[in-house]
A and B are shown apart, each in its own frame.
Chain A
Amino acid sequence: MATVQEHLQSLMGNRVVETAGSSLTRETWRRLRANRIAMVGGAVIVFFVLVAIFAPWLAPYDPRVNTWFDQIRPSSVPGPSREHWFGLDESGRDLLSRIIYGARTSLVIGIVSLAIGASIGAIFGVLAGAFGGWADSLVMRVTDVLLSVPSLLLALSVAAVIGQSQTAVMIAVAVPNIPLFARLLRSSMMAEREKDYVGAAVSVGIKRRPLVMSHILPNSLGPMIVQGTLALATAVIDAAALSFLGLGSADPGVPEWGRMLANAQRYLNVAPHLCLIPGFVIFITVLGFNLFGESLREALDPKLRR
Chain B
Amino acid sequence: MRQRKKLVALALVSALALAACGSDDSNSDTTSGPGGGKAGGTLVFGTSSDPVVLDGAYVSDGESLRVIDQLFETLVTTVPGGTEIESSLAKSWSASDDGTVWTFDLQTGVKFHDDTDFNAAAVCFNFDRWYNFTGVAQSAAVSYYWSTVFGGFSDGATPSLYSKCEAKDDATAIITLTAPSAAFLSGLAVSAFVIASPDALTKYEADKVGGTDDAPTFDGTFGTEHPVGTGPFKFDSWTPGDKLTIVRNDSYWGTKAILDKVIFKPIADGPARRTALETGEIQGYDLVDPADVAALADGGYQILNRPAFNVGYVGFNQAKPPLDNPMIRQAIAFALNRQALVTAKYPEGAEVATQFQPPELFGWSADVPDYSYDPEKAKALIAESGVTDLTIEFYYPSDVSRPYMPDPTANFEAFKADLEAVGFTIVPKTAPWRSGYLDDVDAGNAQMYLLGWTGDYGDPDNFVGTFFRTPQVAWGFDNQEIFDALTKARDTADAAERTKLYEAANKLIMEFLPGVPYVHTQPSLAFAPGITGYTPSPVSLESFATVSLG
Contact = CB atoms under 8 A, between A and B. Distances in A.
Direct A/B contact, Cβ within 8 angstroms: yes
Interface of A: 65-66, 69-70, 72-75, 90-92, 164, 246, 250-253, 263, 265-270
Contacts of A164: 398, 430-431
B295 A66 contact: no
B269 A252 contact: no
A68 to B, nearest CB: 10
Contacts of B291: 74-75, 266-267, 269-270
Given A253-B413, A268-B271, A72 B344 contact: yes
A252 B295 contact: no
Given A66-B414, A92-B344, A250 B430 contact: yes
B295 A250 contact: no
A69 B340 contact: yes
A302 B431 CA distance: 53
Top 4 nearest A-B pairs by Cβ distance? A74-B290, A75-B294, A72-B344, A251-B428
Interface string B259-276: 000000000011100110
19 contacts: A66-B417, A73-B343, A74-B293, A74-B294, A74-B344, A74-B345, A75-B295, A90-B410, A246-B398, A250-B398, A250-B429, A252-B428, A263-B409, A266-B269, A266-B270, A269-B274, A269-B295, A270-B292, A270-B295
A176 to B, nearest CB: 24
A69 B415 CA distance: 11
Contacts of B270: 266
Nearest to A73: B344
Nearest to A246: B399
Contacts of B343: 70, 73
Interface string B285-308: 000011111110000000000000
Contacts of B269: 265-266
A72 B345 contact: yes
A75 B429 contact: no
A91 B417 CA distance: 10
B72 interface: no
Given A72-B345, A250-B428, A269 B271 contact: yes
A65 B417 contact: yes
B293 A75 contact: yes
A263 B343 CA distance: 19
A215 to B, nearest CB: 47
Contacts, number: 73
Given A69-B414, A74-B345, A253-B428, 12 more contacts: A69-B344, A70-B344, A73-B344, A74-B291, A74-B294, A74-B344, A74-B347, A75-B295, A91-B410, A91-B414, A164-B430, A250-B398
In this complex, the member of A65, A251, A263, A265 whose beta carbon has the largest number of chain B beta carbons within 10 angstroms is A251
Nearest to B431: A164
A252 B346 contact: no
A270 B290 CA distance: 11
A92 B343 CA distance: 13
B412 interface: yes
B416 interface: yes
Contacts of A251: 428
Contact of B271 (A65, A92, A246, A266): A266
B289 A266 contact: yes
Interface string B381-424: 00000000000000000110000000101101110110000000
A199 B246 CA distance: 79
B432 interface: yes
Interface string B310-348: 000000000000000000000000000000100111110
A177 to B, nearest CB: 27
A251 B396 CA distance: 10
Contact of A75 (B290, B398, B413, B416): B290
A200 B292 CA distance: 74
Interface in B413-451: 413-414, 416-417, 428-432
A131 B398 CA distance: 48
A91 B413 contact: yes
Contacts of B428: 250-253
Contacts of A70: 340, 343-344
Contacts of B345: 72, 74
Nearest to A165: B430
A30 B340 CA distance: 59
Contacts of A69: 340, 344, 414, 417
A73 B348 CA distance: 10
Contacts of B398: 164, 246, 250
B24 to A, nearest CB: 27
B393 to A, nearest CB: 10
Contacts of B432: 246
Contacts of B347: 74
Nearest to A265: B271
Contact of B416 (A90, A253, A265): A253
Contacts of B417: 65-66, 69
A246 B269 CA distance: 13
Interface string B237-270: 0000000000000000000000000000000011
B61 to A, nearest CB: 20
Contacts of A263: 409
A66 B274 CA distance: 28
B271 A252 contact: no
A165 to B, nearest CB: 10
A65 B417 CA distance: 8
A269 B292 contact: yes
B290 A252 contact: no
Contacts of B340: 69-70
Contacts of A265: 269, 271
B255 to A, nearest CB: 38
Nearest to A164: B430
A164 B294 CA distance: 34
